Structure 1
Amino acid sequence: MDWDKLRIFHAVADAGSLTHAGDVLHLSQSAVSRQIRALEDSLGTTLFHRHARGLILTEQGELLFDATSSMVRKLDTTAARIRDSEEEVFGELKVTTTTGFGTMWLVPRLAKLYERYPDLKIDLMLEERVLDLPMREADVAIRMKEPAQQDLIRRRLLNIRMRLYASPEYLERMGTPHTIEDLRQHRLICQSPQTPQVSSGAVLVQTLLTHNMTSMLMVNNYFGVLQGVINHVGIGVLPDYLTADFPQLTRVLPEIESGEVPVFLAFPEELRTSRRVSAFRDFVLEEIQSIRKLQNETDS
């Protein structure tokens, strides 16, 4: 089969439109249409159903699209390996992690990474959905549980717990609770137990809610909870790794905390030799070590 025609077919199937595919390929709609018709003629089958809403793959088209998608992933991986030299780190790196960890911990540290590798291009995807690394939805993932997918290299970064924190200004104004019952006199800031989050955090919040809090602020991610705490809105449920960057936070009711939450970094086996992945992994591990050192100094 003609590689050019397959490339054009893949772009059309991905875009669902001759016009959009033409824009991506810098070809006219008529040129794209001719190539698709030629490919269909060479295969002796119809690859698309045409209708007013666009193009839909036929059964035969789906089979071919699966094959071209696999080819594209392999070509992307090969191109990444070729671009990565032994001495330089550059090009695109797709990283995924949760909204809370990404906004509160990772993004504030990326300036250091860019100082080392100014030509690195990071595509950071912050969401609770677990992206499929073997299918190359992302190159590297930092997740709050051990990945279940096969063919991944994984490394436990640290263990965290959800705890109660407040600002000194809030506690000076409203007083410090000494028992869990005292929390009813305060405003609790947390995520709803039904919001996608680590299960230990949801369990802790559910336990606190059984004490009939009189005033609450629920936010759908930990970054919003943090903003409420540092702006003296109330007492928030937050991950303990924040104490390294927000030493002004005061822990409230130290006996109350969630179960341990493991944090893992993972990437596909096929990216084992990627310089971009190695550079990012080493950077994250260095930053984690600095947190542990600070926590040990605080504890001592």
Structure 2
Amino acid sequence: MDWKSIKFDWNHARAFFVTAEEGSLSAAARALQTTQSTLSRQVSALEQEIGVTLFERIGRGLVITPSGLELIEYVKEMSEAANKFSLAASGRSNQVEGSVCISATEAFAVFLLPPLLKKLREQEPGISIELIASDASSDLRRREADIAIRHYQPNHSDLIARKLQNGKAFLYASPDYLHSIGHPKTCSELEKADFIGFANNDPYVKGMSEIGLSLNSKNFPYTTANHMAHWALVKEGAGIGVMFEYIGEREPKVCKVSDQIAPFIAETWVVTHRELRTNLRIRLVYDFLMEELTNIFKHT
């Protein structure tokens, strides 16, 4: 049978479903507020449309056939979907429920997102959030996350990405550490200072070079793969580290190393997969993050 060619009237399918649920044409007719003869014609019409016998007529009663039993579950799902559609269309279904997985860098996940996610939960109590805090990128195409906040533009056409205003990151240190090295102001004065490095330090050193700081391995007595450990060492006075301005300016244990040193410029993208177009839950969280993060970045 060529199932692609089958077409049927939903009213006929509903008549079949209610008749099977109620157990008789008379009970189904009362449930649907129609006549028994109308309902019988609709069931017969569905049988002709799909070419399957749904009921055996025994005397004045009906007994559902094995084929009918097989199909009833599909029609039940259609009925439930139609009911949800009707509720949503009439505005009576305002609750959005389910889980959304968000991936973000450690700094964003620890310092930036918690108050935003708390606010989201207050607005949408039916949504639960899984937060992945990692500087490694989650693969959205494999659904390792639903939404990712990244510092580079994705290059896959099947991802949807919107760019936020560029963020600024500065060098920070504890006041005690800066006092111990004579409060340097210029890049040349900083070239003998201790810096907190990263496990993959080459991009960091390259970024330093671009703003005029020439550093080598002797400048990095500490390295770590974890930005939170990096930041903890900075707060403890172990050396100089880097952090986004929005986060650094809210930490009382540190201060900017110097206003004469240019900031690092960081792109920030909010990325998701194509399910954004059809999944209301993901769309709601994505739009919420875009609005909240845009407001934050405007004031930094």
User: Which TM-score tier does this pair reach, normalised by the shorter chain?
Assistant: 0.5 to 0.7
Residues 1:99 and 2:106 are matched in the alignment:
yes
Partner of residue 186 from structure 1, selected from 185, 193, 200: 193
Cα pair distance change 1:109/1:285, threshold 3 Å = same
Q: Post-superposition shift, 1:92?
A: 0.8
Amino acid at match of 1:281: Y
Cα pair distance change 1:243/1:161, threshold 3 Å = same
Structure 2 match to 1:286: 291
1:192–1:202 contact (8 Å) kept in structure 2: no
Residues 1:225 and 2:230 are matched in the alignment:
yes
Aligned partners of 2:122, 2:196: CA distance in 1, in Å? 36
Q: Post-superposition shift, 1:117?
A: 2.2
Q: Which secondary structure does the structure 2 equivalent of 1:111 belong to?
A: helix
Q: Which secondary structure does the structure 2 equivalent of 1:181 belong to?
A: helix
Q: Which secondary structure does the structure 1 equivalent of 2:148 belong to?
A: strand
Q: How many residues align?
A: 211
Q: Post-superposition shift, 1:211?
A: 5.2
Q: CA RMSD for the aligned pairs? A: 3.2
Q: Percent identity?
A: 30
Structure 2 match to 1:260: 265
Q: Which runs of 5+ in 2 are unaligned?
A: 1-80
1:92–1:121 contact (8 Å) kept in structure 2: yes
Amino acid at match of 2:259: P
Q: Post-superposition shift, 1:147?
A: 0.9
1:181–1:211 contact (8 Å) kept in structure 2: no
1:99–1:128 contact (8 Å) kept in structure 2: yes
Q: Which runs of 5+ in 1 are unaligned?
A: 1-78, 296-300
Q: Which secondary structure does the structure 1 equivalent of 2:296 belong to?
A: helix
Aligned partners of 1:215, 1:147: CA distance in 2, in Å? 31
Q: Post-superposition shift, 1:141?
A: 1.2
The C-alpha deviation readout for 1:43-99, integer Å capped at 9, x for no partner, is xxxxxxxxxxxxxxxxxxxxxxxxxxxxxxxxxxxx9xx89x662232111111223
1:192–1:205 contact (8 Å) kept in structure 2: no
Structure 2 match to 1:32: none
Residues 1:238 and 2:243 are matched in the alignment:
yes
Q: Post-superposition shift, 1:146?
A: 0.8
Larger Cα Rg: Structure 1 or Structure 2?
Answer: 2
Cα pair distance change 1:190/1:131, threshold 3 Å = same
Q: Which secondary structure does the structure 2 equivalent of 1:110 belong to?
A: helix
1:130-279 to 2 correspondence within 5 Å? 130-194=137-201, 199=203, 201=204, 203-205=206-208, 208=213, 210=215, 213=218, 216-243=221-248, 245-246=250-251, 249-257=254-262, 260-279=265-284
Cα pair distance change 1:248/1:277, threshold 3 Å = farther
Aligned partners of 1:112, 1:95: CA distance in 2, in Å? 15
1:83-122 to 2 correspondence within 5 Å? 87-122=94-129
TM-score, normalisation: structure 1: 0.59
Q: Post-superposition shift, 1:185?
A: 4.7
TM-score, normalisation: structure 2: 0.59
